[in-house]
Copies of this chain bind each other. A is one copy, B any other.
Amino acid sequence: MLTTTRTTRVEWGDCDPAGIIFYVRYFEIFDVSTTMLLERALGMTKFEYLKAYDFLGHPLVETRARFLRPTRFGDEIAIETAVVSCGRSSFKVEHRLRRAGVLAVEGYETRVWVIRHPDDPARMKSQPLPADVVARLTQTPVPPS
Protein backbone atom coordinates (compact mmCIF):
# COMPACT_ATOMS: atom_id res chain seq x y z
CA MET A 1 0.00 0.00 0.00
CA LEU A 2 1.13 3.55 -0.66
CA THR A 3 2.91 5.33 2.20
CA THR A 4 4.28 8.87 2.45
CA THR A 5 6.03 10.79 5.18
CA ARG A 6 6.27 14.53 5.64
CA THR A 7 7.58 16.77 8.39
CA THR A 8 6.18 19.97 9.81
CA ARG A 9 6.39 22.01 12.97
CA VAL A 10 3.94 22.73 15.76
CA GLU A 11 3.51 26.51 15.97
CA TRP A 12 2.62 28.98 18.75
CA GLY A 13 -0.84 29.57 17.27
CA ASP A 14 -1.54 25.82 17.29
CA CYS A 15 -1.12 25.66 21.08
CA ASP A 16 -3.54 26.38 23.89
CA PRO A 17 -3.17 27.97 27.34
CA ALA A 18 -1.81 24.66 28.72
CA GLY A 19 1.15 25.26 26.39
CA ILE A 20 0.52 22.15 24.30
CA ILE A 21 -1.00 21.70 20.86
CA PHE A 22 -4.78 22.16 20.77
CA TYR A 23 -5.75 18.64 19.65
CA VAL A 24 -7.99 19.93 16.86
CA ARG A 25 -4.86 21.04 14.96
CA TYR A 26 -3.82 17.40 14.53
CA PHE A 27 -6.78 16.87 12.24
CA GLU A 28 -5.67 19.81 10.08
CA ILE A 29 -2.24 18.17 9.93
CA PHE A 30 -3.76 14.81 8.98
CA ASP A 31 -5.92 16.35 6.27
CA VAL A 32 -2.86 17.89 4.63
CA SER A 33 -1.10 14.52 4.82
CA THR A 34 -3.98 12.69 3.15
CA THR A 35 -4.00 15.31 0.38
CA MET A 36 -0.27 14.76 -0.13
CA LEU A 37 -0.77 10.99 -0.23
CA LEU A 38 -3.32 11.36 -3.03
CA GLU A 39 -1.20 13.90 -4.84
CA ARG A 40 1.70 11.43 -4.72
CA ALA A 41 -0.53 8.57 -5.87
CA LEU A 42 -2.03 10.49 -8.77
CA GLY A 43 0.95 12.66 -9.72
CA MET A 44 -1.11 15.86 -9.56
CA THR A 45 -2.04 18.56 -7.06
CA LYS A 46 -5.47 18.30 -5.43
CA PHE A 47 -6.64 21.25 -7.52
CA GLU A 48 -5.65 19.25 -10.58
CA TYR A 49 -6.95 15.84 -9.54
CA LEU A 50 -10.41 17.21 -8.58
CA LYS A 51 -10.62 18.47 -12.16
CA ALA A 52 -9.03 15.46 -13.84
CA TYR A 53 -11.38 13.00 -12.13
CA ASP A 54 -14.29 15.49 -12.09
CA PHE A 55 -15.28 14.99 -8.45
CA LEU A 56 -15.95 17.14 -5.40
CA GLY A 57 -13.52 15.66 -2.90
CA HIS A 58 -12.96 12.83 -0.45
CA PRO A 59 -14.70 13.84 2.78
CA LEU A 60 -14.52 11.70 5.90
CA VAL A 61 -17.28 9.44 7.09
CA GLU A 62 -15.38 8.39 10.20
CA THR A 63 -12.19 9.24 12.03
CA ARG A 64 -10.46 8.17 15.20
CA ALA A 65 -7.33 9.39 16.94
CA ARG A 66 -5.28 8.38 19.95
CA PHE A 67 -3.15 11.03 21.66
CA LEU A 68 -0.24 9.32 23.36
CA ARG A 69 2.09 12.22 24.13
CA PRO A 70 1.61 15.96 23.86
CA THR A 71 3.57 18.15 21.47
CA ARG A 72 4.19 21.86 21.85
CA PHE A 73 5.27 24.89 19.83
CA GLY A 74 8.66 24.48 18.22
CA ASP A 75 8.39 20.68 18.07
CA GLU A 76 9.41 19.19 14.74
CA ILE A 77 7.04 16.35 13.91
CA ALA A 78 7.01 13.65 11.23
CA ILE A 79 3.74 12.27 9.92
CA GLU A 80 3.73 8.88 8.20
CA THR A 81 0.55 8.33 6.21
CA ALA A 82 -0.51 5.07 4.59
CA VAL A 83 -3.42 3.66 2.67
CA VAL A 84 -4.81 0.80 4.72
CA SER A 85 -7.59 -0.46 2.49
CA CYS A 86 -9.54 0.55 -0.53
CA GLY A 87 -13.22 -0.36 -1.01
CA ARG A 88 -15.65 0.33 -3.82
CA SER A 89 -16.41 3.96 -2.93
CA SER A 90 -14.37 4.45 0.22
CA PHE A 91 -10.78 4.10 1.40
CA LYS A 92 -9.02 4.01 4.76
CA VAL A 93 -5.92 5.94 5.74
CA GLU A 94 -3.70 5.74 8.82
CA HIS A 95 -1.42 8.43 10.22
CA ARG A 96 1.43 8.00 12.69
CA LEU A 97 2.77 11.26 14.05
CA ARG A 98 6.15 11.14 15.77
CA ARG A 99 8.27 13.64 17.64
CA ALA A 100 11.96 12.79 17.95
CA GLY A 101 11.12 9.31 16.66
CA VAL A 102 8.59 8.63 19.40
CA LEU A 103 4.95 7.97 18.47
CA ALA A 104 2.79 10.86 19.73
CA VAL A 105 -0.53 10.49 17.87
CA GLU A 106 -2.24 7.84 15.76
CA GLY A 107 -5.05 8.77 13.39
CA TYR A 108 -7.46 6.68 11.31
CA GLU A 109 -9.78 7.90 8.60
CA THR A 110 -12.42 6.46 6.33
CA ARG A 111 -13.11 8.66 3.34
CA VAL A 112 -15.55 8.51 0.47
CA TRP A 113 -15.25 9.66 -3.12
CA VAL A 114 -18.06 12.16 -3.77
CA ILE A 115 -19.55 14.00 -6.71
CA ARG A 116 -22.09 16.78 -6.85
CA HIS A 117 -25.58 15.29 -6.64
CA PRO A 118 -27.06 15.23 -10.17
CA ASP A 119 -30.49 16.36 -8.87
CA ASP A 120 -29.36 19.03 -6.40
CA PRO A 121 -26.05 20.92 -6.68
CA ALA A 122 -26.17 21.70 -2.95
CA ARG A 123 -25.89 17.97 -2.11
CA MET A 124 -23.18 15.37 -2.62
CA LYS A 125 -23.33 11.72 -3.61
CA SER A 126 -20.75 9.01 -3.11
CA GLN A 127 -19.35 7.32 -6.18
CA PRO A 128 -17.11 4.29 -6.89
CA LEU A 129 -13.41 5.16 -6.89
CA PRO A 130 -12.00 5.13 -10.43
CA ALA A 131 -10.17 1.84 -11.10
CA ASP A 132 -6.85 3.55 -11.73
CA VAL A 133 -7.11 5.49 -8.45
CA VAL A 134 -7.64 2.20 -6.58
CA ALA A 135 -4.66 0.72 -8.40
CA ARG A 136 -2.44 3.65 -7.52
CA LEU A 137 -3.51 3.75 -3.88
CA THR A 138 -3.02 0.01 -3.43
CA GLN A 139 0.07 -0.07 -5.64
CA THR A 140 -1.29 -2.75 -7.90
CA PRO A 141 -1.02 -2.55 -11.68
CA VAL A 142 -3.04 0.30 -13.16
CA PRO A 143 -5.74 -1.21 -15.44
CA PRO A 144 -5.83 -0.19 -19.08
CA SER A 145 -8.37 2.60 -19.55
> Interface of A with B (CB < 8 Å)?
11-13, 15-20, 22-24, 27-28, 31-32, 35, 45-48, 56-57, 59-68, 70, 72-74, 114, 122, 124
Q: Known interface pairs A24-B13, A27-B23, A27-B24. Does A61 touch B70 (Cβ–Cβ under 8 Å)?
A: no
Jot down 26 A-B pairs with beta carbons below 8 A, ordered by A: A11-B28, A11-B35, A12-B17, A12-B35, A12-B46, A13-B16, A13-B22, A15-B16, A16-B16, A16-B17, A16-B57, A17-B57, A18-B56, A18-B59, A19-B122, A20-B59, A23-B31, A23-B59, A24-B28, A24-B31, A27-B27, A45-B74, A46-B74, A47-B72, A61-B67, A61-B68
Known: A59-B67, A124-B70. A32 touches B13 (CB 8 A): yes
Q: What is the count of identical protomers in the complex?
A: 4
In the bound assembly, the distance between CA atoms of A45 and B14 in angstroms comes to 15
Q: Which residue of the partner chain, among B18, B45, B66, B74, contacts A57 with CB atoms under 8 Å? A: B18
Q: B12, B48, B56, B62: which contacts A31 (Cβ < 8 A)? A: B12
Query: Other than the known A13-B24, A18-B114, A23-B63, what 20 A-B pairs have Cβ atoms closer than 8 Å?
Result: A11-B32, A11-B35, A12-B17, A12-B35, A12-B57, A13-B16, A13-B22, A18-B57, A18-B59, A23-B31, A23-B60, A24-B24, A24-B31, A27-B27, A46-B73, A47-B74, A61-B68, A62-B67, A63-B67, A64-B64
